[in-house]
């Protein structure tokens, strides 16, 4: 894909994407850039993956900002949004995708394991939402999309603390949407199934096999497919979907 293929769905919009060194995060960056957005993407430790995301954005011809950020730091969210505002003067869309997971049986999960995972999967999204909303309220416009998971709303095999974090993110999405809707800010979540890349590598092989066999499409999702869905939710085409937890699992769970 190159700059000659770009559309105008998000033309001129400033979009911030966390967890964008691979998987769904990179897919969101790719689709947003294709649709004309200026993309600020966050990453922490995957320098090689971040370089690949940057190279992809350059090939498309998008304006971008690459930020190495530890979102577990409470002050990181405010610093990040300020950097984006200083570069482009606004923030039109936020995509909270940063997440971690680890396959640990429930009885072996320690308090520290739970707290560390929540810090990234839920608290960082809360903080980025808070900072983004402060700016979006002044603009009287904004779009927020939280990347959740089917683990947050379905009874499926998976780490309990991960499922709890995504259930919390769903609740944050619904409540925040109700509060900020009057300011022209729409907040939604994508309840994602299993997509190639990203956290797929943390899922045991037997669970991956069961998921694929249960899928009506008999496959895992491609990150760009999620990116296209998210791009529409971020756009001005979306005028009346708010506070929704929208499933994107390929028909796996019926």
Active site positions, annotated: 162
How far apart are alpha carbons 72 and 61 in whole angstroms? 31
Q: Dihedrals φ, ψ of 219, to 5°?
A: -160, 170
Strand order in the sheet with 185-192: 64-68, 38-43, 14-17, 93-96, 142-149, 185-192, 245-248
Q: Which residue has the tokens 């090689």?
A: 48
Q: Residue 90: left (phi > 0), alpha (psi -120 to 50), or beta?
A: beta
Cβ–Cβ under 8 Å, residues 51 and 57: no
């Amino acid at each position: 894909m190159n700059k000659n293929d770009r559309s105008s769905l998000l033309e001129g919009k400033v979009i911030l994407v966390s967890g964008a060194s691979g998987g769904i995060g990179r897919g969101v960056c790719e689709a947003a850039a294709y649709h004309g957005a200026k993309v600020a993407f966050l990453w922490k430790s995957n320098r090689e993956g971040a370089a690949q995301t940057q190279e992809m954005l350059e090939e498309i011809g998008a304006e971008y900002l690459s930020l190495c950020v530890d979102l577990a730091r409470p002050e990181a969210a405010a610093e990040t949004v300020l950097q984006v505002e200083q570069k482009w003067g606004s923030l039109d869309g936020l995509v909270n995708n940063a997440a971690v997971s680890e396959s640990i049986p429930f009885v072996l999960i320690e308090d520290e394991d739970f707290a560390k995972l929540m810090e990234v999967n839920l608290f960082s999204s809360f903080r980025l939402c808070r900072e983004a909303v402060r700016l979006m309220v002044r603009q009287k416009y904004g779009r927020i999309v939280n990347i959740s998971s089917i683990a947050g709303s379905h009874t499926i095999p998976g780490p309990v603390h991960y499922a709890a974090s995504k259930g919390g993110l769903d609740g944050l999405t619904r409540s925040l949407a109700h509060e900020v809707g009057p300011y022209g800010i729409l907040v939604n979540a994508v309840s994602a199934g299993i997509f190639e890349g990203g956290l797929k590598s943390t899922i045991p092989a037997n669970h991956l096999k069961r998921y694929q066999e249960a899928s009506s499409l008999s496959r895992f999702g491609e990150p760009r497919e999620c990116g296209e869905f998210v791009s529409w939710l971020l756009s001005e085409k979306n005028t009346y979907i708010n506070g929704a937890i929208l499933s994107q699992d390929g028909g796996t769970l019926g």
